[in-house]
Amino acid sequence: MFKKKKIGISYKKEKDIHIIPTILSSNKFTSALKKPHWLKIRLPSNLYKINKIKNILKNNKLHSVCEEAHCPNLSECFNNGTATFMILGSICTRKCPFCAVKKGRALKVDINEPKKIFDVILKLKLKYVVLTSVSRDDLKDGGAGHFSKCIYTIRKKKNIKIEILVPDFRGREIIALNKINKYPPDVFNHNIENVPRLYSIVRPGANYIKSLNLLYEFKKICPNIPTKSGLMLGLGEKKSEVISVLKDLKSVGVSIITIGQYMQPSKNHLSVQKYITPQEFITFQNIALSLGFSNVFSGPLVRSSYHADQQYLSC
């Protein structure tokens, strides 16, 4: 078990934690900040290819996090013939106020989903696949067994690399890892998302230490498989806090890190506190590299699965 004392940040009792910005702790989510010019997204030039992938996913009753989470890079990724599959349905049992994925009572797991994904992978001729999921707190293993079945099925095509972006499996970490490690991925990813001071607002129901421990335990079991995590900035975090999180991630063996700008999906989601400049992202990239991360992707539009194949290949 990963211990708190090894982590490079001072942990205090919840009542002693720094005060959360008023705008985050209220119900007034509407952001008054004007989106800067560096976040302008070009309209797609090849709608045919985008619609083709959307139709293939829809016809097979599959979901992509690109669509469900309103990813700003959807057009680019779909035009490049890539997609991140979101397994275990499209309804999340958590209520994280930054996320655009639907929340509520999850539906029954589709036992045919692994084969459907495999068939679509062949149809799209993918060589690098990212699997993520909604949080499934209703399942005894948090959905880990389904991840394992998907990996096992995809491995029938031996030249395909597989990255999984997993939830925290709240309270079921060891059970989940035992199932996943039967058929391990090529990259194990779990996003830390933001700094611990803001967790009660940004990730209600999650726990910073447990997320670190999940990454630590996987790396301990599978030391030769790269582990990866991601941060979204602009929610009121301080530079010193971000650096502390980067140190924590490095201390648990994470080698790949993504750092991007949080963007408010709708007026009902958390508001943006600050738009981080491209130069600031470069600064964070240089800091992460100086801490020893082997691969750092840092920029306004960077997302966890954005150019995931390049992130893996350049390790």
Asked whether residue 315 is marked as a ligand-binding residue, the answer is: no
Asked whether residue 66 is marked as a ligand-binding residue, the answer is: yes
Asked whether residue 305 is marked as a ligand-binding residue, the answer is: yes
Nearest CA to 275 out of 296, 261, 265, 287 is that of 261
Which residues does 74 contact at the CB level (< 8 Å), separation at least 6? 50, 66, 67
d(CA 305, CA 19): 32
Structure tokens given for 62: 């599959």
Q: Residue 229's beta-bridge partner residues?
A: 257
Asked whether residue 96 is marked as a ligand-binding residue, the answer is: yes
Asked whether residue 229 is marked as a ligand-binding residue, the answer is: no
Alpha-carbon separation of residue 300 from 35, 36, 49, 95, 131 (angstroms): 11, 10, 25, 24, 23
Asked whether residue 150 is marked as a ligand-binding residue, the answer is: no
Asked whether residue 71 is marked as a ligand-binding residue, the answer is: yes
Which residues participate in the annotated binding site for [4Fe-4S] cluster?
A: 66, 71, 77, 92, 96, 99, 305
Which residues participate in the annotated binding site?
A: 66, 71, 77, 92, 96, 99, 305
